[in-house]
Amino acid sequence: MKPVEIKKQEKGLEISWSDHQKTFANFGSVRKSCTCAVCKEIKVPLNDTMPFYERSITLQKMELVGNYAIEILWGDGHRSIVSFDRLRASTIEN
Ligand SMILES: [Zn+2]
């Protein structure tokens, strides 16, 4: 499954898939589920009471990684690689 279009919205990414389904990936959920080594080792997980939370879930830049994932650069300088499978697992819009 591949995205045919990824639109940046205020709160997340609206994704249209090759099977005509649409999903919405909320920035907060995407960042919180980051699977990089750094995030896995952090003992206090990111939460919305933290002072720089808004910055941490602000998308600064997004690019494709090969044909399996996107890389997101967040407002706090962190990078997340999000596979299409994980994006696809986000809520399906009606
Ligand atoms: Zn991470």
Ligand 1 center from residue 41 Cα (angstroms): 9
As to burial, measured by CB atoms within 10 angstroms (0-12 exposed, 13-18 middle, 19+ buried), residue 73 is middle
In this predicted model, what pLDDT tens digit does every residue of 36-68 receive, in sequence order? 988 888 766 778 888 889 999 999 999 999 999
Q: Could you give all domains of the chain from N- to C-terminal order, each with its CATH number?
A: 3-92 (3.30.2020.30)
Q: Which amino acid is at 81?
A: I
pLDDT value, residue 70: 96
How close is the Cα of 36 to the center of ligand 1, in Å? 4
Mean pLDDT along residues 62-78: 95
* pLDDT score of 94 more than 60: no
Q: Please tell me the distance between residue 27's alpha carbon and the centre of ligand 1 in angstroms.
A: 13
Strand 3-8 to strand 59-65: parallel, antiparallel, or no bridges (unpaired)? unpaired
Single pTM value for the model = 0.87
Average pLDDT, the chain: 90
Residue 68 has which token pair?
């399996």
